Amino acid sequence: MSRVIALCFLLLAAVVGFIRIYGHPVWAPFLIEQVESIAPEATAVEAQPSSGHHHTSKGKPAAHPPVPSIVAQWLPDTGASSVHAASLITLKDGAVRAFWFAGSREGASDVVINTAVFDPKSHLWAAPTEVMNRIDAEQGLSRYIAKLGNPVPARLADGRLQLFFVTVSIGGWAGSSISTVISDDEGLTWSRPQRLITSPFFNLSTLVKTPALPFADGRLGLPAYHEWVGRFGEFLRIDGTRVIDKRRMSSGRSAIQPAVFVDTPQDAIAYFRQMRSSDLPKQIPVSVTQNAGQTWQVAADLPIPNPNSAIAGLRLQDGVQILVLNNIEVGRHRLVMMMRKPSGQWHIVQTLENEEALPDQERKEFSYPYLVTTNGQDAHLVYTWDRKKLRHIYFSKAWLTQAVNLLPDDVSRIHHQDSAESKEAK
């Protein structure tokens, strides 16, 4: 009898969970944001896009005047021996706030989530401050926390900042859940953390890595992923601190950390980090939605190499798209920026890091890129540099415009430009 009662309780919990997640307001379309120009142009000149494939109608190289270029620097050093998973968000005054986790190593009990602000006028980073540590998370969530990770910021419809981050109480990252805090003052102070409920059962193995997407009704769509029973992408519809819908984005055990490009209020495409077995293609898995994320269909791979490493994506105001990724099948020692025009193919426009010529044991890791724009026409990039530092690169509107102008007119195939043809941003 006790088993029957227990089974009834489980079935009841399943029904309640289903009603909780699928019985909420009608699904809204994506919000196509129009970002006002609020950030100044960079003035430093360090490197220009490779121009080896742009020609005039007569076949001669086109002439381009010098343009403001990329500005590269480090995020502030906190003294931690290991740093990782940096993310960015634009502030109301045009500044950019970064978040990352730092400690003795990834997953250690001393890991904290830090933040710092970049001033676009001075091109300087302010001193870092701490957003969350393990003890404060424990006290706020009223549960044991073993480790923290993967901070992802978002902007609520009412203008407040929201920060999602991963918390683990038991086991490895597969035992994760998502927690969140909210700021009324652009990240100076934060609310008590709350845990998102993504499952009516164990509420485990849900993680975040990539930016949230706004819906037209003011709610957020948060790309997430699962790593316990299978490894797949999930799309969460969030109202404040409540998950009101959850939809599967991919299937199986091979596609996580979805980076989503929104094209129209209904259409979006997601590119994933692949975790496939050795006998399967090391390319970028793809899913598409035509109903604002309610359902996702697996599409053909993007035939660009991926070595089980995160990618970053950004759509500019004119529809041009940017990818930053490790475009190799093994390792994370090469990092590139790729661009494509609307409906075009992907092309490398800049090799950011490349240690292909070094022996395997000497190669550094360049990974976990994250992109944001302040005005729809520029781009800020951060990424992990050998787990010891975090690199920040600013790409001005002028630099990106020239990069787009230099894209080949022939878009019949994806062009993998040799690293020697790109200038490194060091």
- pTM reported for the whole predicted model: 0.86
Please check the confidence at residue 77 and state whether its pLDDT lies above 50.
yes
- At 33 the pLDDT is 72
Q: Is residue 61 situated within a structural domain?
A: yes
Contacts 24+ apart (CB under 8 A), 78-83: 78/102, 78/114, 78/128, 80/104, 81/105, 81/388, 82/106, 82/108, 82/387, 82/388, 83/384, 83/387, 83/388, 83/389, 83/390
Please check the confidence at residue 229 and state whether its pLDDT lies above 60.
yes
Predicted confidence (pLDDT) per residue in 90-126, tens digit: 999 999 999 999 999 998 999 999 999 999 999 999 9
Q: Is residue 209 situated within a structural domain?
A: no
Residue 356 belongs to domain spanning:
42-69+310-426
- How long is the chain? 426
Q: Is residue 410 situated within a structural domain?
A: yes
Q: Is residue 286 situated within a structural domain?
A: no
Between residues 181 and 38, the one the model is more confident about? 181
How many domains does the chain divide into?
A: 1
Q: Is residue 400 situated within a structural domain?
A: yes
Mean pLDDT is lowest, of 71-85, 193-207, 279-293, 348-362, for: 193-207
Please check the confidence at residue 284 and state whether its pLDDT lies above 80.
yes
| Mean per-residue pLDDT, 377-405 | 97
% residues pLDDT > 70 (the chain): 82
CA distance 326 to 279: 20
Q: Is residue 417 situated within a structural domain?
A: yes
* Eight-state DSSP code of residue 61: B
Query: What are the residues facing 421 on neighbouring strands?
Result: none
Q: Is residue 301 situated within a structural domain?
A: no
Q: Is residue 78 situated within a structural domain?
A: no
CA distance 258 to 249: 8
Predicted confidence (pLDDT) per residue in 8-41, tens digit: 443 444 444 444 444 568 999 999 875 443 333 4
